[in-house]
Structure 1
Amino acid sequence: MSTASRLPGIVTTDHVFQLPLDHTAPQGEQIEVYAREVVAATRAKDDLPWLVFLQGGPGGKAARPLGRDGWLERALDDYRVLLLDQRGTGRSTPATRQTLARRGGAAEQADYLTHFRADSIVRDAELIRRRLLGDDQRWSVLGQSFGGFCTLTYLSIAPEGLREAFITGGLSGLHSSADDVYRAAYPRVVRKNADHYARFPQDVEAVRRIAGHLASSPASLPGGGLLTVQAFQSLGMLLGTGSGSGSLHYLLEEAWVEGVHGPELSDTFLAGVQAKLSFAEGPLYAVLHESIYGQRSVDPAGTAWSAERVRKEFPEFDAEAALESGAPVLFTGEMIYPWMFDADPALRPLKETADLLAARTDWPDLYDPVRLAANEVPVAAAVYHDDMYVDTADSLETARAVRGLRTLITNEWEHDGLRVSGGKVLDRLIALVRGEA
């Protein structure tokens, strides 16, 4: 039974769907997928077109709106929105260290998780569309980041379900291997470090001091994790968002207190780091991260911990060498490394499972270049000029490969432009799709 709730300016309705774990075996094991319908309070009875939102990630649940927040302010003018908790996340059947243990050993867990990529998410969406709208009614899709990757998969395998598509920061390379992705990513992260240190030059020494301390004395985090130099460097994930550089700076500001035996890392700092680095709320992000690039026609050898291997080609990220030479210690970016499965209690039980997924060599292709070249669905995509998470060159190449796709290329916002622009990014994309811009 659907449950409706009211929040300022909106009405939300809960939907839970029983869907196949494996869409090639529709009568087999079933999982639950949750979605939250959101409509403007003043239009709750109106017959509105539907817009399904595909969240970034992988492994990210949809946002929990408290009203006409962010991009919803614009979307709810025209649409009835469906916020999908992609399989394994949020209120959908969860996939965590606690629930995956019930599947059996690492091999069984890895086999189960092969059904949690973009192709399965799209097929979930298609079944949900038919149940909510009927077989003949199309809906619109908005994909943010990884949700944009999913949208390209949607256009590849089920474009008949779509009336239009919007993509923000999520035009992935159709033919890019995981190694290609990270070879392009590390230089972008170097630039984001340079931008951060230019904005906050005092952080050069602050970071060196913390890294030097951790090199000899790794710290325990409040949740039981271990803060090593490498873990500290991974705070660079923040540098790809509009406010991330400032947030990192303010975190560093409160790193030290004077304890009984002299300076020590403060509880405030360690709690802040814990909040940024723990995968307890989204373990699938770490477990499945590299697999989102796996396509057997592109990467027949599998992803094989690509970010870790490719990092060796970029010695400027070697913190030990930087400390010895007096150079700035560089943060890393959106990379998942094997050591994270030792450092984070939420990931430790999934270490062998992640290793098996990294070794997998038979990932089905996610994109159909031929079908995309013949695309008939109106598509508009926001490409952020120096996006730290998604390579701009890949995005523009993909934009050219999808027939009729129109782009908004901007440096006004970072990767989180959809969330922080107050609906401006979505408004521009809607105008592009409608031929109004």
Structure 2
Amino acid sequence: MALQRFAIPAAKLLRSKSHIVPGQLLVTEHFFQVPLDYSNPAAGSITLFGRSATKHETPVFPPDEPPSPKPWIVYLEGGPGFGNREPQDHPLTRTALSRGYQVLYLDHRGVGFSTPVSTAMLARLPGGNGPNAVDVQANYLKLMRQDNTVRDCESVRKLLTDGLPEHKARWSIFGQSYGGFVSISYLSLHPEGLREVFLTGGLAPVGKTPDQVYEATFRKTIERNALYYKKFPEDAETVRQIATYIEQEGGSQGVPLPGGGFLTVPRLLTIGIAFGGHGGFDQVHSILLHLKSSLDQFGFLTRASLTPLESFTSFDTNIIYAILHEAIYCNGPGSASNWSAYRVGQSLAQFSWLCKTNDSITSSASPDQPILFSGEMIFPFHFETYPELIPLRAVADRLASTSDWPALYDVDQLRKNKVPVYAASYIHDMYVDYGFAKDTANLIPGVKTFETNLMHHNAVRAKAEEVMQNLFGLRDDVLD
């Protein structure tokens, strides 16, 4: 499948400012300007934001010559839809600086401080609040996927490495989760810009349809539910108690939430998204315990019990995660998602609650079986229960039915890859299927993989030292 390739101009540096932070770090905040649409540069520009970090050094004697620039490593965050933390709070910083890199934490387009997408922002696009608003907003959002993030990276790379010889102008990238998907697209589109690639939970399911992805991730979600209820068997009854209250008090619309939107039983059950990370079981149990305690003591859900729940998933502040989540699996023309997770889930008896509209979920669920939580899936009812998403329901439907997506991966290019790739792959990953990850690792020459059944998808944060040691060991150690 042919990838669209365009001339990539060097980004324009709008401004930058450096400051010293504790830990001997020199952090520089950069604002870059790049084209919104690389196929039509005259269509306008957007701003990209990134923070770079290097060691702050105060030598006793000034160097006789200016030091050579350190090689860049660029961190690509997961999502889609999330910006980066500050360098001093990121586990990669210490590891990378100790190995002689300077690090760039670049926010993907549309997130963080990189012309972030919001409902109000989309409505203020030219034509974004008129009769063709759905088309205007959907077309803008279609430019926010990983193929254009790769082009943004190349544009910034050309600026930051201007004047360096070719072998020093290449940079390293580190992709976590969806950032790994971006990295695989980078290997497809512009491998000439890369020195090496590090991946954590980011071996994208190349060649798999959205339905195949969700069939696999639902299977893993069922396994994680079983383990959750094994750890917290009392929560089977707790979920029924809370769900019964929601149905009785809120009806089909749900219980109003303090910050807007509604708590329905399906929305409650989507907090199982946390099951894919270290500590996720305890986070969900804490949410349920808070709600149950409120019902037991007062007979209603207090604001204090509802507030942690409504902010549990950040769809109101990171709408790209919700509205483009299935689109990141649509690889080329003819690949419409058509609410894939919703359709796949409805076909599974364990998730019969996805089929319910006006019927009671609690009364129709088997009393002998716990009600299962969903995982990393986006459903149409998200656009009925989150206040920031409610105005975007028609746009979300339009994107779900879109079938003219550009290709994201070039299998022929990946098969002849020469860029070293070092990947951490998690056997029990609930978000990125391990079997599909193995297929991708086998597709791309030069991939060295650290595999473990002792870590989950967020191990780069939860078990950072161990992940970094094994990942960079793949690069540095000799394999007999």
TM-score (norm 2): 0.87
**Partner residue, 1:125:** 153
1:292 equivalenced with 2:320 (yes/no): no
Query: Which is further off, 392-401 or 248-257?
Result: 248-257
1:129-165 deviation per Cα after TM superposition (whole angstroms, max 9, x unaligned): 0100127300000000000000000000100000000
CA distance in 2, matches of 1:261, 1:176: 49
- Asked if the contact 1:59–1:283 (Cα under 8 Å) also holds between the matched residues in 2, the reply is yes
Q: How does 1:207-246 map to 2 (within 5 A)?
A: 207-217=239-249, 218-246=254-282
1:295-336 deviation per Cα after TM superposition (whole angstroms, max 9, x unaligned): 236xx2511111111111112122426644331011101111
1:307 equivalenced with 2:341 (yes/no): yes
Cα gap change, 1:253 to 1:260, in 2 (>3 Å): closer
**Partner residue, 2:228:** 196
Cα gap change, 1:322 to 1:411, in 2 (>3 Å): farther
1:183 Cα shift? 0.7
Aligned to 1:33, the other structure's residue is in SS state strand
Q: Which runs of 5+ in 1 are unaligned?
A: none
Question: Which residue of 204, 207, 213 corresponds with 1:172?
Answer: 204
1:261 Cα shift? 10
1:419 Cα shift? 1.3
1:46 Cα shift? 6.6
Question: Which residue of 48, 51, 74 corresponds with 1:52?
Answer: 74
Query: Which is further off, 322-331 or 268-277?
Result: 322-331
Q: How does 1:145-160 map to 2 (within 5 A)?
A: 145-160=177-192
Q: Which runs of 5+ in 2 are unaligned?
A: 1-14, 60-66, 354-360
**Partner residue, 1:3:** 17
CA distance in 2, matches of 1:403, 1:261: 60
Structure 2 residue identity aligned to 1:208: R
CA distance in 1, matches of 2:237, 2:385: 25
- Asked if the contact 1:145–1:170 (Cα under 8 Å) also holds between the matched residues in 2, the reply is yes
Cα gap change, 1:247 to 1:261, in 2 (>3 Å): closer
1:31-77 deviation per Cα after TM superposition (whole angstroms, max 9, x unaligned): 11111101233499773211001110111111223x26423221221
Question: Which residue of 428, 434, 437 corresponds with 1:392?
Answer: 434
CA distance in 2, matches of 1:258, 1:423: 39
1:259 Cα shift? 7.6
- Asked if the contact 1:257–1:266 (Cα under 8 Å) also holds between the matched residues in 2, the reply is no
- Asked if the contact 2:209–2:335 (Cα under 8 Å) also holds between the matched residues in 1, the reply is no
1:275-303 deviation per Cα after TM superposition (whole angstroms, max 9, x unaligned): 11341220110011110011236xx2511
**Partner residue, 2:134:** 106
**Partner residue, 2:12:** none
Identical pairs, percent: 38
CA distance in 2, matches of 1:263, 1:390: 40
Structure 1 residue identity aligned to 2:176: Q
1:103-140 deviation per Cα after TM superposition (whole angstroms, max 9, x unaligned): 21111010111111100000000010010012730000
- Asked if the contact 1:256–1:264 (Cα under 8 Å) also holds between the matched residues in 2, the reply is no
**Partner residue, 2:357:** none
CA distance in 2, matches of 1:322, 1:247: 27
1:385 Cα shift? 0.8
Aligned to 1:71, the other structure's residue is in SS state helix
1:335 equivalenced with 2:349 (yes/no): no
1:254 equivalenced with 2:315 (yes/no): no
Structure 2 residue identity aligned to 1:138: R
**Partner residue, 2:475:** 433
Query: Which is further off, 254-263 or 398-407?
Result: 254-263
- Asked if the contact 1:16–1:35 (Cα under 8 Å) also holds between the matched residues in 2, the reply is yes
**Partner residue, 1:281:** 317
- Asked if the contact 2:332–2:408 (Cα under 8 Å) also holds between the matched residues in 1, the reply is no
Structure 1 residue identity aligned to 2:185: T
CA distance in 2, matches of 1:373, 1:260: 59
CA distance in 1, matches of 2:75, 2:106: 6
**Partner residue, 1:88:** 110
**Partner residue, 2:64:** none
Structure 1 residue identity aligned to 2:290: E
1:335-356 deviation per Cα after TM superposition (whole angstroms, max 9, x unaligned): 1111111111111121111111
Aligned to 2:207, the other structure's residue is in SS state coil
Question: Which residue of 161, 166, 173 corresponds with 2:193?
Answer: 161
Cα gap change, 1:424 to 1:40, in 2 (>3 Å): farther
Which structure has the larger Rg? 2
CA distance in 1, matches of 2:431, 2:295: 39
1:11 Cα shift? 1.6
Structure 2 residue identity aligned to 1:85: D
CA distance in 1, matches of 2:372, 2:296: 31
1:225 Cα shift? 1.5
CA distance in 2, matches of 1:111, 1:46: 43
CA distance in 2, matches of 1:94, 1:145: 20
Cα gap change, 1:206 to 1:375, in 2 (>3 Å): same
- Asked if the contact 1:256–1:263 (Cα under 8 Å) also holds between the matched residues in 2, the reply is no
Query: Which is further off, 78-87 or 321-330?
Result: 321-330
**Partner residue, 1:17:** 32
Structure 2 residue identity aligned to 1:196: Y
1:192-229 deviation per Cα after TM superposition (whole angstroms, max 9, x unaligned): 11111111122121112112222332322121111101
1:263 Cα shift? 1.5
Question: Which residue of 349, 352, 363 corresponds with 2:391?
Answer: 349
